[in-house]
Chains A and B, each alone.
Chain A
């Protein structure tokens, strides 16, 4: 029988028992759906991170204590206490390639407004942070150098904090308590959205770093320094200057390693993309397990199907079907099942990722490559798991098959 005919015969056989065919496909559908949705979330995250990061200044440097340390954006603030605010001042004054600096400390804690509370991230910054980062205000004003010097208890809120603490009330001038200490709301940051779908950039409260050090954390050191270089071209000279300066200030001997690390945006972007990529693979891997289960389901049903149709196989053999005809018939049935399931799964996965996009707000991206891969996998699953039952069918003895009740 030629291949086209085999496919038609297979389709006919599957069509005769639509319900069972559909139930068999269910495993594959769910598996492919999950893989497509997961990969689209992961890819959407990567692309969105890259877009966001490239939007940000390409002249930013981040100085952190501790030697080179891989980690994502959330990653460790360094357990070292070697970085001081005076280091930041020195960098601003003595490095010609550096334009502005902002010392930074961070923590997470409960904040309370009247009877509402919310757990969020508190970041202590210098007054220049807005200019350095290119952030905008939506309402009110940012704290000034004087406020920083005086450790004023002022704060600026991100949009998500406003939504969760204040709902529709205007937060301007209101008092919130951070770790029991009252802070006055000076302004609200403009919305920045979600970075890579994994964390909310608007879920943050900014305070002067001095206030954070003294009142919230009780520390003398700082967690990092955000630096803006004069322009994109002076990035490497800025890095060099900062490095030399800090080594001098920290009195490091020539043979000693840096007790700090300097990262630029590109490094961070790479690290984050890598993390997102790893997560995508992980998610896809987990989702693939259900694809595997779907394949096992196909194999089981095909085995049952072969057993149920032993008589039919005997009839076909008696009128001239060769072993190969029988093998191909059942194999094609399995592949048609898996490909159809794969197709439905892909469509459902695309729809699913759109739904996730609109509900959770995570960016998703379905690439042609991932669709092609999902398709190829479905076919492979069909061939692999369909082969054993098909072979079993083809090796039946026609006489015994005809006698089977």
Chain B
């Protein structure tokens, strides 16, 4: 689970994203450039519509920029086909969503195993890795619980365990504490902090909450599709 700190994990250059909404052209990202190193803990902030979600989608290989370059571990993502993008999402990126996005009627363990299913990991190894991942977030005892039997905070922790299970290069978290109570929210941020400090896992977090952003080591502020401020904490 380690990331090499000297290698530039992400290199984004002049990223631009334009949507066509009927007659109107919406410029979601305008010439955005930045870099992320292994071991970074980055908070992306800004008002809604500022482009931070669009950026996350591009970094997460769910979407392609209209122009510009996105290099993930020195690989040009724009050159990848759909199959390779899926592979990248599976192995290199771990998502944590605001709405948890766990599969319903499924146990915590099965949820965490899901990415391993898509990378053809055999059953025994899958189980072991999933259990380890759940242990990392403190939910070893709840592994057989179904999604609906878990609290909001627990669900998010399962989502984090799922994001970690394939030993990705980055964790992308979109408002991870937005749907949980403040106590659970603090727990979750502690987990992120621990993962970043102890395991050197790179984390990119989107939030509009100033308190949450204080857990990060760097902040990027977005407005109207552009980066207006960068800060190291």
Contact = CB atoms under 8 A, between A and B. Distances in A.
Interface of A: 1-2, 5, 9, 16, 311-312, 314-325, 398-399, 402
Interface centre among B97, B101, B119, B162, by most A CB within 10 Å?
A: B101
10 A-B pairs with the lowest CB-CB distances in the bound complex, closest first: A320-B90, A322-B86, A320-B118, A319-B115, A16-B105, A315-B101, A320-B89, A398-B62, A318-B95, A399-B62
B60 A1 contact: no
A72 B183 CA distance: 86
Given A1-B120, A399-B63, A312 B103 contact: yes
A402 B117 contact: no
Nearest to A321: B118
Contact of B83 (A318, A322, A398, A399): A322
Contacts of B114: 316, 319
B215 interface: no
Given A312-B103, A399-B57, A319 B162 contact: yes
A316 B95 CA distance: 11
A290 B105 CA distance: 33
**Chain A contact surface mostly:** helix
A319 B118 contact: yes
Contacts of B162: 319
Interface in B155-173: 162, 166
A309 to B, nearest CB: 9
Interface string B79-108: 000110011011100010100011111000
A1 B63 CA distance: 23
A398 B119 CA distance: 18
25 contacts: A5-B117, A5-B120, A312-B103, A314-B101, A315-B103, A316-B114, A316-B118, A317-B62, A319-B89, A319-B114, A319-B118, A320-B87, A320-B115, A322-B82, A322-B83, A322-B86, A323-B83, A323-B86, A324-B83, A325-B86, A325-B118, A399-B57, A399-B63, A402-B62, A402-B97
B120 A311 contact: no
Contacts of B119: 320
Nearest to B103: A312
Given A9-B117, A317-B62, 19 more contacts: A1-B117, A317-B86, A318-B89, A319-B115, A319-B118, A320-B86, A320-B87, A320-B115, A320-B119, A321-B118, A322-B86, A322-B87, A322-B118, A323-B83, A324-B83, A325-B118, A398-B62, A399-B62, A399-B63
Nearest to A325: B118
Contacts of B166: 320
A190 to B, nearest CB: 66
Interface residues of B, number: 26
Given A1-B118, A9-B117, A319 B63 contact: no
B62 A318 contact: yes
Contacts of B87: 320, 322
Contacts of A316: 114, 118
Contacts of B89: 317-320
Given A16-B105, A312-B103, A402-B101, A318 B117 contact: no
B82 A311 contact: no
A318 B117 CA distance: 13
B60 A318 contact: yes
A330 to B, nearest CB: 15
Nearest to A312: B103
Nearest to B174: A402
A9 to B, nearest CB: 7
Interface in B35-70: 57, 60, 62-63
A399 B17 CA distance: 14
B60 to A, nearest CB: 7
Nearest to B60: A318
A320 B116 CA distance: 9
A317 B118 CA distance: 10
Contact of B95 (A9, A319, A324): A319
Nearest to B123: A5
A15 B52 CA distance: 39
Nearest to A315: B101
Contact of A320 (B63, B91, B103): B91
A159 B60 CA distance: 84
Given A315-B101, A318-B89, A323 B82 contact: yes
A5 B122 CA distance: 10
A322 B102 CA distance: 18
